[in-house]
Amino acid sequence: MKKTPLLFLFALLTLPLMAQKKRFTIDDLIPGGSTYYAHSYPATKYLTWWGDACMELGIERCKNIDGQVISPALATLTLENINGILAANGRKTIDHLYSISFPEPHMPYVLIDRGREKTLVDWDNRKVIWKATLTPDVSNEDWDKHSRSLAYTAEHNLYVLTADGKTHQVSSDGSADLAYGTSVHRDEFGIEKGTFWSPDGTLLAFYKMDQSMVSKYPQEPPFFSPQGGTAHSDSSTSPKEEDGRGLPYPMAGETSHKVYVGIFNPQTDKTVYLNTGDPTDRYFTNIAWSPDGTRLYLIELNRDQNHGSLDEYDTATGEKLRTLFTEDNPKYFEPTHPIQFLPWDDSKFIYQTRRDGYNHLYIYNVASGKQVKQLTSGQFEVIDVLGFNTEAKTVLYTSNEQHPLQQNVFSVDMKGKRTLLGNGTGWHNASLSESGQYFIDNYSSPLIARHIDIVPTTKGDIVNVLSAADPWSDYQVPEIKTGTIKAADGVTDLYYRLILPTDFDPNKKYPAVVYVYGGPHAHNIDASAHWGARGWDIWMAQQGYVMFCLDNRGSEHRGLNFEQATFRHLGVEEMKDQVKGVEYLKSLPYVDADRLGVHGWSFGGFMTTSLMTTYPDVFKVGVAGGPVIDWRFYEVMYGERYMDTPQTNPEGYEETSVLGKAKNLKGRLLVIYGGNDPVCVPQHTLSFMRACIDANTYPDLFTYPGDGHNMMGTDRVHLHNVITRYFEDHLK
C-alpha cells in the first residue's frame, strides 16, 4: 500500500513561533491544576453509540448527531424525565446526561451508573428495568447487558447478582492471600480485569489468584491519604496492626503466585475449574469465549516467556480439549490480545502476533488450528483491533502504517486489502458503532487541537462534529521541532522532539533538559497535538530551557527487533541512544553544553539515575521519579521478560543495577517517590540512598506520603513545582 507523507512531514517538522500575549501558569499546564481544563484541554463533545446512531450527550438533553429523528422516544430523553423516574423509584438523581450509556441498540434504555447505585431505565415508558445497590466495599463490577447479571468482588470474594435480584456467592474463602475475580499477573499480558462473561451472559469465567507463597513487601502505614490529610479521624491515633499489611510482590527470580481459571454457572450455583494442571510458574492470559459459550480459549505462557500455546477447554467439564498451536521466540513472546471470532464465520478467528517482527493479524481455522492466511503485513504495527463491519466482512483496526509517529484507522477485507479511513494524518482514537458501519474519529495533529468526525467504514461522506480551537491560541507557545537522528547502532532512525525557549534568541546560550522514559510499551513523540509535548515541557521552555526528548530503541510501535535490542541488559542500549541525542543537543549553537539536565519517571526514573551515574560528566542536574534502581527488586512478569532471572542473567542484573554506580554520582540528583508506591516499591529509592551514603555521594530526596506510583490531583501540580524549582536552583 502506498504511503502518504506525515502531516507536512519534516518540511523541517517545525511549528512556527506565534506572537502571543499571554504566558502560562503551571496550573494551566498540569493535570490537577485549577485552570488546566479551561486553558489546556480542547473543547470536546460527549458522544456514544445507540446502535448505529451517534448520540450527543448533554446536560439536559441527548440528540442524534446528524439531527435525524431516529426514534420518537428521543423527545422524552431529558434530564428532567430521567430524574423523575429515578426519584419515583427511590434512586439518586443525576446532574447531567454526560455519563449515561445505551446498552441495547433498539430499545429506549439507558444505564445510569452512580458507583454503588446502578439503574437501567426505560425512559420512554418511565420505568426501571433493572437496578442494583452495592455496599461501599464492592469493586471490580462487571455488568453483562445480555443477562443483566452483575459480577463484583467484596473482601476478596466474588459474587454474582442476577437479573432476578438474587445474589450468588461464588467464593467464600477469599483473603489477602487468595483473591477472586481480580486482575492477575500484575496486569501484564494485556490483563486488565478478572471476570469474563460468556457471549450470552449465562456463564462467568474468572481468575482465582493464590498469593500465599509470595513475599510481602511492607508498605508504609496509612498515616496519610493522597493529596494531604490524615487517613484517620484522630491524627494522634497510631495505625492498627492490620493497616501495615504487606503487599504481595513477587520480585524477579522469587516465588510467584499461582493462578486458576474458574467458570461459574448462576443457574446451578456450581463452579468448574479448568484442568490446567499445576499452575506453578505458568501464566494464563488472553481469555476468550467461543461464540456458543461451550469452549474457553486462553494462552498459556511459561515463566521464561519464550513459549506459549493457545489452548481450548470444555466449559462444562473444565477439561482441556487440545492445543491449537504454539509459538516460540528465542528472547520473549508477549501475547496481549485474546483471539476474536469472525462474527460472520464462527469457524475462523483473528490472532495477533509479532512473529514476523511486527504486530499483525492472522486468520486461523478453529477446527484444524491451522493458519488460513496472514491478513496484514509490512514494516508497521497493528496497534488495536476496533471490531468488525459484519456486512462488509472487514476488520477495523488502528496502525502506524502511515508513519511511525501516526495512529490511523484502517479496514482490511478477507483478501487482505487494506483501506485507510478518515483523515490520513495525526493521531486517531476511534469508537465503532454496533454494526461497524461507522466510527467516531477523535483525533489531533501537531496543528489540530481536536477534531471529531463520524466516518463511514465502507462508503459515504465524513461528517464533522467538532473542530475545536487550540486552547493555547492566546498564549505564547514555544517553537516545537521534530526530526530524526541515528541510534547508537548507526543504522536505526530515532525520533526526537525539540522545544525552544519562549522568546528564543539564537545568539544566546540556554540550559537544556532531556525528558526521558525509554522503556517498552510507551513512547513520547507522536503526531498528536503539539507533537505530544507535555504541559511541563512547555512550562520549562517558558522558564528559558531547551527541552529535548528522544524515543530510544526499546520503546513501542517500532517492531520487535527495535524493542528487543535491550534484552537482558535494560538501560544499556537505551542510554547509548540517549547519549547520541545529547551529542545532537550539544551540536546546537544555542545549547550550553555545561548546563544539561535530565528528568524522567518510572522507567524514566531508572534512566535518569542510570544516566547520572553511568555518564556522570554529561549531566549537571537530574530529577528521577519513582525509579527502578535494581531490576532484582522489580516484579517477576515484567522484569523477567526483559531481563530473564537474576539466577540466569547475573551479569545483566549487575551491569544494569544503579547501586554499584552510586559512587559515580557527581551532579545534583533529586529522587522523588510515593510512600506507598506498589509498582516501583520504595526499596528501590531507599536502597539507592543507602548506597550513596556508603559511597559518600549526596543525592537529594523528596517523598509524597500516602501516594502511589504517580501523583494525582493537586499533588501533581506540587510535584512539578518541586521538579521545576530543583532545575531552577541548580541548572540555571
Assess whether 97 and 168 both reside in one domain: no
pLDDT band at 468 (very low <50, low <70, confident <90, very high): very high
pLDDT confidence bin for 70, thresholds 50/70/90: confident
Q: Return d(Cα 84, Cα 91) in angstroms, integer.
A: 10
CA separation for the pair 355, 364 (Å, rounded): 15
The pLDDT, as a whole number, for residue 11 is 40
Residue 203 shares a structural domain with residue 312: yes
Q: What is the CATH number of the domain that holds 156?
A: 2.140.10.30
Do 53 and 119 belong to one domain?
A: yes
Among 338, 367, 396, the domain-final residue is 338
Q: Which three cell numbers stand for residue 271?
A: 463452579
Q: Is there a domain that residue 228 lies in?
A: no
Q: Among all residues, which ones are annotated catalytic?
A: 602, 677, 709
Same domain, 576 and 641: yes
Within this chain, do residues 31 and 77 fall inside the same structural domain, yes or no?
no
pLDDT of residue 229: 44
Residue 665 maps to a domain:
yes
Domain count, the chain: 3
Alpha carbon of residue 491 to chain centroid? 30
**Closest Cα to residue 205, out of 334, 338, 335?**
338
| Residues 202-234: tens digit of each pLDDT | 999 999 999 999 999 998 776 666 665 443 333
Nearest CA to 374 out of 384, 388, 364 is that of 364
Confidence at residue 219, expressed as pLDDT on a 0 to 100 scale: 82
pTM of the model: 0.94
Contacts of 255 (CB under 8 A, 6+ apart): 213, 214, 215
CA atoms of 490 and 372, how far apart (whole Å): 39
DSSP summary character for residue 635: B
Inside any domain, residue 434: no
The answer as to whether 622 is a domain residue is yes
User: Dihedrals φ, ψ of 540, to 5°?
Assistant: -70, -35
Other Cβ atoms closer than 10 A to 604: 24
604 and 480 in a common domain: yes
Question: Are 33 and 180 found together in one domain?
Answer: no
Domain boundary among 101, 133, 165: 133
**pLDDT tens, residue by residue, 425-458:** 999 999 999 999 999 999 999 999 999 999 999 9
Q: Is 13 a residue whose pLDDT tops 90?
A: no
Q: List the beta bridge partners of residue 285.
A: 299
SS3 for 465? Answer: strand
* Residues 113 and 180 occupy one common structural domain: no
Between β-strands 340-342 and 345-353, what pairing exists: parallel, antiparallel or unpaired?
antiparallel
Q: What are the pLDDT digits (tens) for 488-526? A: 999 999 999 999 999 999 999 999 999 999 999 999 999
Any domain includes 326: yes
- Asked whether residue 306 is assigned to any structural domain, the reply reads yes
Question: E strand or H helix at 345, and its extent?
Answer: strand 345-353
Is residue 725 one of the residues assigned to a domain? yes
Q: What is the domain extent for residue 155?
A: 135-219+247-338
Classify residue 629: in a domain, yes or no: yes
Same domain flag for 550 and 658: yes
Question: Among the three residues 64, 98, 133, which one is the final residue of a domain in this structure?
Answer: 133
Task: Provide the CATH number for the domain around residue 700.
Answer: 3.40.50.1820
Output the pLDDT for position 10: 41
| Shared domain check, 161 and 48 | no
Q: Which one has a higher pLDDT value, 295 or 239?
A: 295
Mind giving me the DSSP string for 86-133?
Answer: HHHTTPPP-S-STT-B--STTS-EEEEEETTEEEEEETTTTEEEEEEE
pLDDT digits 0-9 by tens, 577-603? 999 999 999 999 999 999 999 999 999
Shared-domain flag, residues 127 and 49: yes
What mean pLDDT comes out for the span 343-349?
98
Please state whether 422 falls in left (phi above 0), alpha (psi between -120 and 50) or beta.
Answer: left
pLDDT given at position 69: 66
How many angstroms from the chain centroid is the CA of residue 662? Answer: 32
Over residues 401-428, the mean pLDDT reads 97
174 lies in the same domain as 92: no
Report the alpha-carbon angle 719-725-727, nearest 5: 110
